[in-house]
Amino acid sequence: MPFLNWKPEYSVNIERIDAQHKHLVSLLTRLHYAIAEESERIAVGKILSELVDYTKYHFSTEESLLRAYQYPNYENHKKQHNDLKKHVYQLQEDFILGSATVSYEMLTFLNNWVENHILGTDKQFSYFLNEKGVF
Protein backbone atom coordinates (compact mmCIF):
# COMPACT_ATOMS: atom_id res chain seq x y z
CA MET A 1 0.00 0.00 0.00
CA PRO A 2 1.43 3.41 -0.93
CA PHE A 3 2.40 5.74 1.87
CA LEU A 4 0.50 8.62 0.31
CA ASN A 5 -2.17 8.16 -2.33
CA TRP A 6 -3.30 10.76 -4.81
CA LYS A 7 -6.88 11.76 -4.05
CA PRO A 8 -9.26 13.73 -6.29
CA GLU A 9 -9.57 16.41 -3.59
CA TYR A 10 -5.86 17.21 -4.09
CA SER A 11 -6.64 18.59 -7.54
CA VAL A 12 -6.09 22.33 -7.89
CA ASN A 13 -7.88 22.26 -11.25
CA ILE A 14 -4.73 23.34 -13.09
CA GLU A 15 -3.52 20.47 -15.26
CA ARG A 16 0.21 21.26 -15.14
CA ILE A 17 0.24 21.68 -11.34
CA ASP A 18 -1.86 18.56 -10.74
CA ALA A 19 0.54 16.51 -12.87
CA GLN A 20 3.48 17.81 -10.85
CA HIS A 21 1.72 17.13 -7.55
CA LYS A 22 1.02 13.57 -8.69
CA HIS A 23 4.71 13.14 -9.51
CA LEU A 24 5.70 14.43 -6.05
CA VAL A 25 3.31 11.94 -4.44
CA SER A 26 4.83 9.20 -6.60
CA LEU A 27 8.37 10.15 -5.51
CA LEU A 28 7.34 10.09 -1.85
CA THR A 29 5.76 6.67 -2.36
CA ARG A 30 8.94 5.37 -4.02
CA LEU A 31 11.00 6.72 -1.13
CA HIS A 32 8.68 5.02 1.34
CA TYR A 33 9.01 1.67 -0.44
CA ALA A 34 12.79 2.00 -0.67
CA ILE A 35 12.97 2.50 3.09
CA ALA A 36 10.40 -0.21 3.87
CA GLU A 37 12.29 -2.71 1.73
CA GLU A 38 15.58 -1.65 3.31
CA SER A 39 17.00 -0.77 -0.08
CA GLU A 40 20.65 0.08 -0.41
CA ARG A 41 21.69 3.52 0.73
CA ILE A 42 22.59 4.46 -2.86
CA ALA A 43 19.04 3.69 -4.05
CA VAL A 44 17.48 5.74 -1.24
CA GLY A 45 19.90 8.59 -1.97
CA LYS A 46 18.98 8.58 -5.65
CA ILE A 47 15.26 8.87 -4.90
CA LEU A 48 15.92 11.57 -2.30
CA SER A 49 17.95 13.48 -4.89
CA GLU A 50 15.10 13.18 -7.42
CA LEU A 51 12.68 14.46 -4.78
CA VAL A 52 14.87 17.47 -4.01
CA ASP A 53 15.37 18.33 -7.69
CA TYR A 54 11.71 17.86 -8.58
CA THR A 55 10.55 19.90 -5.60
CA LYS A 56 12.76 22.77 -6.77
CA TYR A 57 11.34 22.45 -10.31
CA HIS A 58 7.75 22.27 -9.07
CA PHE A 59 8.06 25.26 -6.76
CA SER A 60 9.62 27.26 -9.59
CA THR A 61 6.66 26.41 -11.82
CA GLU A 62 4.12 27.47 -9.19
CA GLU A 63 5.96 30.65 -8.32
CA SER A 64 6.30 31.70 -11.98
CA LEU A 65 2.59 31.21 -12.49
CA LEU A 66 1.72 33.13 -9.34
CA ARG A 67 4.00 36.03 -10.29
CA ALA A 68 2.60 36.15 -13.82
CA TYR A 69 -0.93 36.60 -12.49
CA GLN A 70 0.10 38.82 -9.56
CA TYR A 71 -1.23 36.50 -6.87
CA PRO A 72 -1.77 38.69 -3.79
CA ASN A 73 -0.44 36.08 -1.32
CA TYR A 74 2.66 35.29 -3.39
CA GLU A 75 5.27 36.21 -0.75
CA ASN A 76 3.70 33.97 1.89
CA HIS A 77 3.41 31.11 -0.57
CA LYS A 78 7.04 31.50 -1.61
CA LYS A 79 8.10 31.57 2.06
CA GLN A 80 6.37 28.22 2.63
CA HIS A 81 8.24 26.80 -0.37
CA ASN A 82 11.55 28.17 0.90
CA ASP A 83 10.98 26.71 4.36
CA LEU A 84 10.40 23.23 2.95
CA LYS A 85 13.32 23.51 0.54
CA LYS A 86 15.65 24.37 3.45
CA HIS A 87 14.34 21.38 5.39
CA VAL A 88 14.73 18.98 2.46
CA TYR A 89 18.16 20.33 1.48
CA GLN A 90 19.34 19.83 5.05
CA LEU A 91 18.00 16.27 5.06
CA GLN A 92 19.80 15.56 1.80
CA GLU A 93 23.06 17.06 3.05
CA ASP A 94 22.88 15.11 6.32
CA PHE A 95 22.11 11.95 4.36
CA ILE A 96 25.07 12.47 2.01
CA LEU A 97 27.40 13.15 4.93
CA GLY A 98 26.15 10.00 6.65
CA SER A 99 24.87 11.80 9.72
CA ALA A 100 21.22 11.01 9.02
CA THR A 101 19.00 8.44 7.44
CA VAL A 102 15.65 8.94 5.80
CA SER A 103 13.27 7.73 8.48
CA TYR A 104 9.56 7.13 8.69
CA GLU A 105 9.37 10.24 10.86
CA MET A 106 10.85 12.31 8.03
CA LEU A 107 8.54 10.67 5.49
CA THR A 108 5.56 11.44 7.69
CA PHE A 109 6.66 15.07 7.89
CA LEU A 110 7.06 15.29 4.09
CA ASN A 111 3.76 13.57 3.40
CA ASN A 112 1.91 15.78 5.86
CA TRP A 113 3.53 18.89 4.43
CA VAL A 114 2.62 17.97 0.85
CA GLU A 115 -0.94 17.07 1.78
CA ASN A 116 -1.50 20.16 3.94
CA HIS A 117 0.17 22.48 1.45
CA ILE A 118 -1.91 21.23 -1.48
CA LEU A 119 -5.17 21.23 0.45
CA GLY A 120 -4.42 24.58 2.10
CA THR A 121 -2.34 27.18 0.33
CA ASP A 122 -2.39 25.60 -3.14
CA LYS A 123 -6.19 25.41 -3.10
CA GLN A 124 -6.22 29.15 -2.34
CA PHE A 125 -4.20 30.05 -5.42
CA SER A 126 -6.21 27.51 -7.39
CA TYR A 127 -9.39 29.51 -6.98
CA PHE A 128 -7.55 32.74 -7.80
CA LEU A 129 -5.96 31.36 -10.98
CA ASN A 130 -9.11 29.55 -12.10
CA GLU A 131 -10.94 32.89 -11.93
CA LYS A 132 -8.24 34.27 -14.26
CA GLY A 133 -8.91 31.44 -16.73
CA VAL A 134 -5.93 29.23 -15.80
CA PHE A 135 -6.79 25.52 -15.85
CATH of domain 40-130: 1.20.120.50
pLDDT digits (tens, 9 = 90+) for 14-68: 999 999 999 999 999 999 999 889 889 999 999 999 999 999 999 999 999 999 9
Sign of CA dihedral 8, 12, 13, 19: negative
* Eight-class DSSP state of 102: -
Domain boundaries defined on the chain = 40-130
pTM of this structure: 0.92
